[in-house]
């Protein structure tokens, strides 16, 4: 029997804060204790509990890639009590980190395939983890395409990285903003993700599509993927449900008999279709 307390967080220092978009920040976190840093490892797709002492914990994915050693990053939007407290923290301050939890993207099974990433809004962070993981082990994969959409130009996150991906010859990047969200100098597409995807017309042949975004985006993207010939086993997404413990005990996140914290957050569309509509 393990003797450690699963509720005790690691102490981490905020090494760097990046303002991504209005109300959206990225924290780069470093373990305060070298031993914690040495022992810690995670895989693309996993999530964690981030805590502000005196306020509580909140749940989001690890947004950095496991291929980048020595730190973890998270990107969050200021929305509730804890994320608002988190947003007030400054560089150098200490916070708590508990994880990693949940399952992972099956990157080993995707070797030798084309990867098509489709993300909307604040759902790029869970995908950024796997995108960098793929780009850092680029030789394992064939074509890599990224379609990313946000409400407006200002709402696009990871602007520097979008530029870096755009400049890479081995990545096809399409960014889009909702009609009316463009600026005069906007060079990307204008339109909602599903319709831009239809115009991109990617081949389903030997391709895995990873779709993360608000429920409405996913709802309209799946039929486009169907039309393009993607089978359910070629499509992956992540689910989020409210969580407290992260380890299958507190009773919040289950969708039918499946627990988002243990069986997810990554689900293939095959697994997703077997779930009741409880997410």
Partner 1 sequence: MIHNNCLQITDKGLKDWLAKIIAGGKQLYAPVREGDKTAFKWLDSVAEISMEHIQTTQSAKAVAFPRAEKLFSYQKEKGAVTLQDYNPDNLSETVIFGLHPCDAAGFRPLGSIFNWDTPDKPYNERRKRMTLITVSCTKSDEFCFCTSVNGGPGNTEGSDILLTPLKKDYLVEIITEKGQKLVEAYQSCFDTPPENSDKEACLAKVPVRFSPEEVSRKLSGMFESKVWETQSERCLGCGACAFVCPACACFDIQENSKGNSGDRLRCWDSCGFSLFTLHTSGHNPRSTQSQRWRQRLMHKFSYMPDRLSVIGCTGCGRCSRACPVDMNIAEHLADIG
What does the binding site for partner 1 look like in residue numbers (CB under 8 A)?
Answer: 1-9, 11, 51, 53-57, 79-80, 83, 92-96, 215, 240-242, 244-245, 247-252, 254-257, 262, 276, 278-279
Q: How far is the CB of 253 from partner 1 (least distance, A)?
A: 8
Residue 32 vs 111, nearer CB to partner 1: 32
> What is the DSSP secondary-structure string of 130-157?
HHHHHHHTGGG-S-EEEEEEESSGGG-S
Q: What is the SS3 assignment for 171? A: coil
What whole-number distance in Å separates Cα of residue 97 and Cα of residue 81? 17
CA neighbor of 276 nearest in space, from 252, 254, 249, 246: 254
Closest to partner 1 by CB, 80 or 223: 80
CB of 53 to partner 1, least distance (A): 4
Half-sphere exposure of 134 (CA within 13 A, CB side): 29
Task: Give the nearest distance from C-beta 248 to partner 1 in angstroms.
Answer: 5
Give φ, ψ of 55 to 5 degrees. -120, -40
Q: What's the closest the beta carbon of residue 84 comes to partner 1, in angstroms?
A: 10
* CB nearer to partner 1: pick between 135 and 272: 272
Nearer to partner 1, 138 or 249 (CB): 249
């Amino acid at each position: 029997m393990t003797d450690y307390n699963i509720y005790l967080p690691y102490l981490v220092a905020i090494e760097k804060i990046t303002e991504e978009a209005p109300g959206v920040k990225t924290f780069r976190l470093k373990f305060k204790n070298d031993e914690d840093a040495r022992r810690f490892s995670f895989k693309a797709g996993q999530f964690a509990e981030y805590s502000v002492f005196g306020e509580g914990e909140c749940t989001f994915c690890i947004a950095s890639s496991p291929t980048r050693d020595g730190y973890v990053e998270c990107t969050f939007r200021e929305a509730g009590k804890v994320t608002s407290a988190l947003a007030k923290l400054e560089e150098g301050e200490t916070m708590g980190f508990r994880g990693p939890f949940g399952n992972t993207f099956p990157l080993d099974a995707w070797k030798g395939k084309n990867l098509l990433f489709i993300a909307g809004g604040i759902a790029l962070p869970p995908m950024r983890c796997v995108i960098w993981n793929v780009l850092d082990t680029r030789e394992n994969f064939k074509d890599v395409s990224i379609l990313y959409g946000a409400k407006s130009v200002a709402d696009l996150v990871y602007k520097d990285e979008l530029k870096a991906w755009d400049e890479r010859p081995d990545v096809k990047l399409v960014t889009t903003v909702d009609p009316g969200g463009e600026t005069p100098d906007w060079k990307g597409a204008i339109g909602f993700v599903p319709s831009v995807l239809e115009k991109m017309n990617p081949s389903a042949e030997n391709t895995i599509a990873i779709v993360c975004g608000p429920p409405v985006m996913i709802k309209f993207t799946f039929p486009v993927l169907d039309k393009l010939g993607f089978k359910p086993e070629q499509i992956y997404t992540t689910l989020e449900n409210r969580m407290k413990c992260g380890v299958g005990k507190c009773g919040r996140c289950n969708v039918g008999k499946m627990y988002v914290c243990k069986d997810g957050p990554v689900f293939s569309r095959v697994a997703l279709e077997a779930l009741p509509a409880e997410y």
